Structure 1
């Protein structure tokens, strides 16, 4: 490839895809996902796809599908049209200059650009991201139906299928004592068969976490994600120091930028970082956060925003380039959706997600599926999280 590889066109669309069951979190429940799918064309005719998914519209952070689409169409696409697509870091800097923040929107555009350039070269995306260090990653499943019997049945089915033996439970919407009872019963059912993690999604204050997390650890929980508000680094630090010999504390919403990662490392406020391509602002910036983790002897976990197979494959490519100090990944989003937008999903074998090695992200987009779920075609309104179901938590 010689000479500039100009970016010719960028388009974004919102999809609305139902989930196979309600997915309950501390702040509500979702019954459909609304990812923003970006398509980018290079002047040589190559095209690439990217994705930014939120959970419950703007309920997880400040960006929504509608704001992501607007940022791309109004600011990010005009910033990049006519620029050399080979200069990916320069493209990120240009997007930063034209539009502050909007990490999710920028991640989708960068993802599409990397996919297009990798396809031009005929190489898998991991080859542009430092080279893979893993062929596959242990794959977690989230138990978030809100019902003990259903969660236990779901977990045992996944074990029998050899798809998952790491399970995360979403908690924080109910009374803490009820959450402890819920987690403990499921932990007893899975004892000796699987690893159990809990995600509080910022729902507790420091005192509540200090009181109830030891009970969950006694029940068998080994990894605890974001038990307190993202700003509450002091509480994270205390929990990391006091519970560290019994379980690991994982930061999620608290660690978005490399600067966030540096602060947590300096404060020794986390044992693990949950990495998510969208919140970090792209694949290259995910590697930057991971580099801080590796330098500070902090582990990493491959998180999800419940993307389709497109975003999940992109995440898998960058996670495959990271170090050995990891706790697996949870790129199960495609399994939670009633259908997908690719012709073939990534394979799962012996409890691990297999890295696709084709050109780009190794998955092929089904254009008919894009049309099928396109919000403009379906005439659906914006996705809203059902806050009323928060009391059922998962």
Structure 2
């Protein structure tokens, strides 16, 4: 196919891979109340990468926190010397820790080469902006209420509470949030730590009438029959946090949930798994490991190109970390993040910030 002005694309070759390792802490007080101590996960390094081509076009990628830099370098021979057009973005040669980073970088390269945003390469845009849930860690009822009220004032419609290590105060926390911000929906995520369905039912019964949007992953997700039981018992919607098409198929088959939080794998994997949920009428949101600006941008593009990605997504790295390491931050407004319209992922690396936050 001939595209005016982009004849060079067919001859483009990947020449080298550049990597950085950074540690960007959370903003003070953004996650846990002091009573619950600091979370150490924000001290896990994040690897950023840039895939160079012989045309001068380069693509950016980001690995999930804690994934090794060596994974990028180990997979490099599968990419260097080849054209970005040789790859099916749904079936990349990387199958491990570096896969998502390479996928982001290829979408970025091809979008820049063709002069279109990444969402166009995923089939086009359903959404101009993506709703975002303001996410928090383990907080006292008073701290949660203050943060939720501030989020509500900023236009957020959903406030997500982690509860794996603080489920005992959930009823008080939710009631206090409701008193301070009655218009914001509360999403509760115990990270499968409630043990048995009876405890989940007992807690959920105390939360009815306080604008609880859903209960996410309250018990072990290996026991989908527990979720089938919980859907019969609970008066609030039930969500599963899933990470593959295969997991979505299993959940859909047994009608185990009302909503799905999808973490991927990658941009194309998110879209593919969402299609399965859509066929069963299940809306989804995009999960997050609270990364940096590059991964957040990739999530926004994936959601934009996915019809049923209509629930507030956990795209909050930019909001919670001290730096996003991109030149221009994503545009958050009234509880939404706007979809970038520049070619590729629509973000550029802030190399000065990398010097500040880089680690060996």
* TM-score with structure 2 setting the length: 0.89
Structure with the bigger RCO (C-alpha within 8 Å, sep 6+) is 1
CA distance in structure 2 between the partners assigned to 1:281 and 1:77 by the alignment: 19
Contact 1:19 1:33 survives alignment (8 Å): no
What are the superposed Cα offsets for residues 167-209 of structure 1, whole Å, 9 maximum, x if unpaired? 01111213x4432222222233222x21111111111122321
TM-superposed deviation, 1:268: 0.6
Report the CA distance between 1:12 and its aligned residue.
2.8
Q: TM-score, normalised by structure 1?
A: 0.82
Contact 1:356 1:362 in 2 (8 A): yes
Whole-angstrom CA distance in 2 between matches of 1:53 and 1:281: 11
Question: Which residue number in structure 2 is paired with residue 82 of structure 1?
Answer: 81
**Long gaps (5+) in structure 2:** 1-5
**Pairing 1:247–2:240 present:** no
**SS in structure 1 at match of 2:311:** strand
Alignment-derived partner of residue 211 in structure 2:
220
Q: 1:231–1:154: structure 2 CA closer, same or farther, 3 Å change rule?
A: same
Q: 1:234, 1:199 → 2: CA distance? A: 19
Name the structure 1 match of 2:198. Answer: 207
Distance 1:87 1:286 in 2: 22
User: Matches of 1:275 and 1:28 in 2, distance apart?
Assistant: 26
Query: Could you report, residue by residue, the CA deviation over 1:55-103 in whole angstroms, capped at 9, with x for unpaired residues?
Result: xxxxxxxxx333xx222212x212222222123326834224xxxxx2x
1:391 corresponds in structure 2 to none
- Which residue number corresponds to residue 382 of structure 1? none
Q: Distance in 2 between matches of 1:295 and 1:241?
A: 22
1:177–1:335 CA distance, 2 compared to 1 (3 A): closer
Q: Distance in 2 between matches of 1:133 and 1:274?
A: 19
Maintained 8 Å contact 2:131/2:310? no
Offset of 1:13 from its aligned partner?
2.4
Residues 118 and 360 in structure 1, CA contact (< 8 A), matched pair in contact too? yes
1:178 is matched with which residue?
A: 169
2:154 aligned residue: 161
The yes-or-no answer on 1:46 pairing with 2:57 is: yes
**Alignment length, in residue pairs?**
348
Distance change >3 Å, CA 197–CA 48, structure 1 → 2: same
Q: RMSD across aligned C-alpha pairs, in angstroms? A: 2.3
